[in-house]
Amino acid sequence: MIKNLRVKSSEYIDETNRISFKFNGKTYHGFKGDTLASALLANDVHLVGRSFKYHRPRGIMTSGSEEPNAIVQINPGTNRTEPNVRATEVEIYEGLEASSQNCWPSVEFDIGGINNFLSPFFPAGFYYKTFMWPASFWEKYEFFIRHSAGLGKSPTSSDPDIYDHRNIHCDVLVVGAGISGILAAKNAAKNNFKTLLVDEKNELGGSTIYENNEFNKIDNKTPSEWLKKEIEELKNIKNLEIKTRTSVAAYHQYNYLLARENLTDHLEAKDKTNKIRQRLLKIRAKKVILATGALERPLIFNNNDRPGIMLSSAVKKYSEFYGVACGNKNVFFTNNDSAYESALSLYNKGINVDAIIDIREQSESKIVKKIKEIGIKIYWSHSIVDTAGYKRLNSVSIMKLSNDGTSVTGSKISISCDCLGIAGGWTPAVHLYTQSGSKLKFDEEKQIFLPNQNTSEQISVGSCGGDFKIDEIIKNLNHKLKDNLNIKETDLDNIKVEIDQENSKRNIWLLPSDKPLGKTKPFVDYQNDATAKDIKLALREGFRSIEHVKRYTTTGMGTDQGKLGNMHALGIIADTAGVKMGELGTTTFRPPYTPLTFGTIVGRNVGKFFDIFRRTPINDWHVENKAEFENVGQWKRAWYYPINGETMHQAVQRESKAARESAGILDASTLGKIDIQGSDASEFLNRVYTNAWSKLAVGKCRYGLMLNEDGMVYDDGVTTRLGENHYIMTTTTGGAANVLGKLEDYLQTEWPELDVYLTSVTDHYATASLCGPNSKKILKKIIPDLDLSDENFPHMSFKDAHIGNIQCRIMRISFTGEHSYEINVQASYGKDLWEKCIEAGQEFNITPYGTETMHLLRAEKGFIIVGQDTDGTMTPIDLQMDWIVSKKKYDFIGKRSLYRSDTMREDRKQLVGLLTDDPNIVLEEGAQIVSELNQSPVEMLGHVTSSYFSPNLKKSIALAVVRGGKDMMGKKLFVPMENKNINVTIANPVFYDEKNERLNA
């Protein structure tokens, strides 16, 4: 029989809308408006998980995003499953399933629970100390650790949901819609600031919205009643956008914030489809008003982690907001008045409160008097020394606290209870504030860190700014708003507040027990099972920096980033080390404040939108003709064109032979093209390329090699002089954007005196590269009136021509060693040009070839590909391309570096050809080259950079870089592979047509 602890109706719970959900396979019921946590508590379920290290049973501690224990797997086994979700933030819906994490086989019986009894063997740094030795055992340890560790399961099928990003620019962003946030947003918007108000909860109002304490009045109303009226008025305000279920994850410099808006997580499965699940808001705000509130602190005492032990403020919220009693026998443990407010709230709802244990000597506030009148037993100057109940709290033991608070005396009293609300004071939620780069200072009196030095246009208002009482909040908010927004009057000027709140508090970071610390378990970080003992051990072992202690003990390193216990960790360190809190500093809070899904981060950039891809104007033809494609940078390039079920090898061999025997055609549209104009264009090229350009005649082409300033080869390509002051440069496909960027950099910053203009025209032209002994005949058919004689149109020259009405630029240049033409037309005519070439080439068996054949053909000629045969450590001299480096030019980019002692070494790796002794063995690209086989260790002389089987030479050929290779012609070396050693010989890298006779064939 499931007990029902729903005690009183609440306006936030719709009892006409009953919802069934499953937790750990069992069906429960709740109502619309419940969170998973409130619904479970209403069913008297406290035990929801196991702790990370000791596998101790853990329950729901809080009612918000700071929850360390109640983290669950949502909809396990489905493609919408999500791990590490806080039960306190999940709104229930029909069909919701959730399960505990970090336990096996079940949360009720968890094998890992044995760690709890072994805990003396699991001190801080246990993993560091134990699993280090012997090193070879790590794999075995890792298996054990991974098997027993568990922070949920990721989905195994793809995410069915849609995610989105939105950019927002606003004048004022208000984070948090409690009383301060609402008043700030209202006044900002009323004063014509374009305002955005966000809150992580589904309802506005923060904790004030259920503040029905009779001792606090605003304009003669309870805070709750008064705030509801204010919220009602927000609806009629222009300039104000409100987003609920929206959690700010990150606050970066210059008021740039990222927030996650949750749109469908609270809906049933059938209502989730085809909707955006979560949206990442990228907000740039002129001013930010942080109204993020405060988090209640726990108290640190022996066995303070049992299911049933909760924050006092959470017990109050479950009663006031959700109408749920967290226990039948409730007890509070406190160091301030907050617990009395919770107790009164429970009493007013008819929920039994048995006792309040207060470490203070006394308090005389009205609310304490009221509790006395009601007859709830108060134990002044007492502390809890132990608790009992394995899967649910059943009693607490208390003893009298000594005057100095360091020990307990007298006899032990046992109080039976099934829920304990703990109240250790309040910590301003300054996480976002510090993320922005702003600095905190420690307030000795209040024992809290407060905003101090702002780095951007921001203010912190309400309790995150250190104001906890409603009168202080409103007074200081009013000042800050007027100051920050530069306004004279606000709604807050005439608010009358009557309050009875006392700030009296007795702060003891670690409460004593009758047992020594070694025998107790006072948890500081619940999620990571770090205890006060661990922190003290770290200090004893010499750790001093808070950041080091944090990592050693894992305090604050969980998914909750230690929102509850970080202050206590600092306090314990300060007390133990005998230093002041303010001197220790705080640990760094990093984004995200609460975890984000990967879906939210990537938004729409999934599937085919994951990255941009570029297609040439001829792409459709390649697709129609069944080309296989390869990615070259962002381009999709035709790789090879298999016919009749050919393998890649077969297709490439066929294409390569055809290109040399008759005619081949390649889509070269992806090559980078930069239009260079200006009266200093020639001088500019002189400075950026290694060779000389001044004497290049109009209408001629020249190959150029570009270096980095460090002398290493950066890019290459052919540049054509179109006119006196006009060139077109081609770059490698992958390097186009970087080359343009680099050239612009030199032009703008080093040589602003040059009259040169650069324009990227890569996408403006389509290029068909026609090659082979019959290429001339094919071109003649297409352009009959163009004189193609070697005299009129020699190799390395250019002609303007027309194909019908289409203007084209034709370069007679070759990357294959064959007689060839690159025909450039306006991009939109690309496919037409290509089809004309194919049609005219029919009688010559014109063969389209892809990038693989292009690579093979150029390797036969020993032409390098920058980025394949070079890797940023190769100079032109290393490439045996001395011929292209001008000795006459005074300077060019990288020239001086070619004369550095290191670049002039004779034993640098140099580009050579490599032939296998067995002509049928094709080397693997990247394979290592050695000169000795029977030596260990053996020096690696170099590696294979390009390797193919050449159908034209009927043997395997390779290019390689080899230490001192230039002077090793004919030397026998070895390429050791896994199963065999391959004998190779260093050769001339030009394997085919060394005299370049075919260019004019």
Partner 1 sequence: MFLINCPYCGERDQQEFKAGGEAHIERPKQPTELSDDEWAEFLFMRKNIKGVQFERWNHAHGCRKWFNMVRDTSNDEIKAIYKMGEKPPTQ
Which residue, 751 or 992, has its beta carbon nearer to partner 1? 751
Q: Which residue has the tokens 């709290």?
A: 393
User: By C-beta, is 255 or 952 nearer to partner 1?
Assistant: 255
CB of 466 to partner 1, least distance (A): 23
What secondary structure does DSSP assign to 654-686, as a single string?
Answer: HHHHHHHHT-EEEE-TTSEEEEEESTTHHHHHH
CB of 492 to partner 1, least distance (A): 31
Report, in Å, the least distance between residue 632 CB and partner 1: 21
Q: Which of 432, 430, 480, 434 minimizes the C-alpha distance to 459? A: 480
Give me the residues paired with residue 704 across strands: 717
Contact footprint for partner 1 (CB under 8 A)? 252-256, 284, 437, 455, 709-710, 741, 744-745, 748-750, 752, 890-891, 895-897, 899-901
The residue among 143 and 254 lying less far from partner 1, judged by its C-beta, is 254
**Would you call 843 helix, strand, or coil by DSSP?**
helix
Nearer to partner 1, 461 or 712 (CB): 712
Q: Are strands 246-252 and 439-443 parallel, antiparallel or unpaired?
A: unpaired
Q: Locate the DSSP E strands across 76-148.
A: 82-86, 97-100
71 touches 85 (CB < 8 A): yes
Whose Cβ is closer to partner 1: residue 772's or residue 894's? 894
Which residue, 111 or 904, is less far from partner 1 as judged by CB?
Answer: 904
Residue 454 C-beta: closest distance to partner 1, Å: 11
Cis preceding-peptide flag for 105 (omega within 30 of 0): yes
Contacts of 868 (CB under 8 A, 6+ apart): 855, 945, 946
Could you give the dihedral angle defined by the CA atoms of residues 868, 870, 876 and 880, in that order, rounded to the nearest 10 degrees? Answer: -70
If you write DSSP's letter for every residue of 975-991 in order, what string do you get? Answer: EE-SS-EEEEEEE-S--
Cα 22 to the center of its chain, rounded Å? 32
Please say which residue, 122 or 751, places its beta carbon nearer to partner 1.
Answer: 751
The dihedral built from the CA positions of residue 380, 386, 391 and 394, taken in this order, carries a sign that is: negative
Helix (H) or strand (E) holding 16: strand 14-23
Min. distance of Cβ 766 from partner 1 in angstroms?
25
* CA 949 to each of CA 212, 660, 817, 987, 991: distance values in angstroms, whole numbers, following the listed order: 85, 15, 17, 16, 12
Q: Which is nearer to partner 1, 169 or 377 (CB)?
A: 169
Closer residue to partner 1, CB minimum distance, 747 or 984: 747
Residue pair 280/168 in contact by the 8 Å Cβ criterion:
no
Q: In this complex, which beta carbon is closest to partner 1, that of residue 548 or of residue 900?
A: 900
Q: Is 294 exposed, middle or buried (0-12, 13-18, 19+ CB in 10 A)?
A: buried
Distance CA 553, CA 740 (A): 51
| Min separation Cβ 750 and partner 1, Å | 5
Token pair for 922: 């094709």
φ, ψ of residue 774 in degrees (nearest 5):
-100, 5
Tokens representing residue 592 in the block: 């995200």
Q: How many whole angstroms separate alpha carbon 294 and alpha carbon 208? A: 12
541 or 745, CB closer to partner 1? 745
Least Å from the CB of residue 171 to partner 1 = 14
**Residue among 287 and 836 whose Cβ is closer to partner 1:** 287
Classify residue 207 by its DSSP letter. Answer: T
Give the containing element (helix H, strand E) for 434: helix 431-435
Q: Give least dist CB 199 to partner 1, A.
A: 23
Closest distance between partner 1 and the C-beta of residue 749, in Å? 5
Report, in Å, the least distance between residue 741 CB and partner 1.
Answer: 7
Check: CB of residue 228 under 8 Å from CB of residue 209.
Answer: yes
CB 894 within 8 A of CB 877: no
Nearest residue (CB) to partner 1, 575 versus 710? 710
Q: How far is the CB of 706 from partner 1 (least distance, A)?
A: 16
- Closest contact distance (angstroms) between CB of 897 and partner 1 is 7
DSSP letters, 772-837, are: STTHHHHHHHH-TTS---TTTS-TTEEEEEEETTEEEEEEE--SSSSSEEEEEEEGGGHHHHHHHH
**Comparison of 694 and 748: residue with beta carbon closer to partner 1:** 748
Identity of the residue, 406 or 759, whose beta carbon is nearer to partner 1 in the bound complex: 759
Distance from C-alpha of 46 to C-alpha of 394, rounded to nearest angstrom: 12
- The least CB distance from residue 692 to partner 1, in Å, is 17
From residue 846, alpha-carbon distances to 327, 498, 808 in Å are 85, 94, 21
Q: Cβ of residue 889: shortest distance to partner 1, in angstroms?
A: 11
- For 252, 439, 483, 727, 829, the CA distances from 434, given in Å and listed in that order, are 10, 6, 22, 54, 57
Closest distance between partner 1 and the C-beta of residue 549, in Å? 24
Query: Which is nearer to partner 1, 749 or 805 (by Cβ)?
Result: 749
Residue 282 CB, nearest approach to partner 1 (Å): 9
- Structure token digits, residue 402: 């000594």
Residue 925 · residue 946 · CB < 8 Å: yes
Nearer to partner 1, 687 or 861 (CB): 687
| Rounded Cα distance, 474 and 495, in Å | 8
Residue with Cβ nearer partner 1 (604 or 896): 896
* Smallest gap from residue 754 Cβ to partner 1 (A): 13
Question: 95's torsion region: left (phi>0), alpha (psi -120 to 50) or beta?
Answer: left
Q: What angle do CA 706, 709, 714 make, to 5 degrees?
A: 35
Question: Could you tell me the smallest distance in angstroms from the CB atom of residue 445 to partner 1?
Answer: 28
